[in-house]
């Protein structure tokens, strides 16, 4: 799922880069045709980049919120919970190993059907 979000984000970044490139070309043409001054063209491009940056930050914030909400709805185990489970399993395995050792020691001393 994280991979899908990354692809979506990279697609958006690519689209913005392509759009910025197109805007720059159009502005350059307008400046060349003297329909815009160099300063006006620069302002248009700068405004676009600035607006895009603020929208990017807003989008990233929304994606982070959505991702956190989605992940929390799956109720994944935390690292702490996994560590606690591992410790319990190790304790049970150790207890079981001790129990098996004790039982095999007791049964080895008294073999059924052995004659004295």
**pLDDT number for residue 50:** 85
Whole-model pTM? 0.44
> For every one of its 116 residues, what pLDDT tens digit does the chain have, with 9 covering 90 and above?
567 767 777 777 777 777 888 888 988 888 888 888 888 888 888 888 888 888 888 888 888 888 888 878 887 888 999 999 999 999 999 999 888 887 777 766 555 555 54
Contacts (Cβ under 8 Å, ≥6 apart) of 20: 45, 48, 49, 52
**pLDDT number for residue 114:** 53
Helices and strands of the chain, counted as H and E runs: 3, 0
**pLDDT number for residue 81:** 95
**pLDDT number for residue 113:** 56
**pLDDT number for residue 116:** 45
């Amino acid at each position: 799922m994280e991979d899908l979000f990354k692809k979506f984000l990279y697609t958006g970044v690519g689209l913005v880069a392509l759009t910025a490139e197109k805007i720059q070309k159009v502005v350059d043409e307008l400046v060349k045709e003297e329909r815009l001054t160099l300063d006006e063209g620069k302002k248009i491009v700068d405004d676009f980049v600035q607006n895009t940056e603020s929208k990017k930050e807003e989008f990233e914030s929304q994606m982070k919120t959505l991702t956190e909400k989605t992940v929390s709805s799956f109720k994944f185990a935390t690292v702490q919970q996994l560590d606690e489970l591992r410790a319990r399993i190790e304790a049970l395995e150790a207890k079981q190993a001790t129990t098996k050792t004790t039982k095999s020691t007791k049964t080895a001393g008294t073999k059924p059907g052995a004659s004295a």
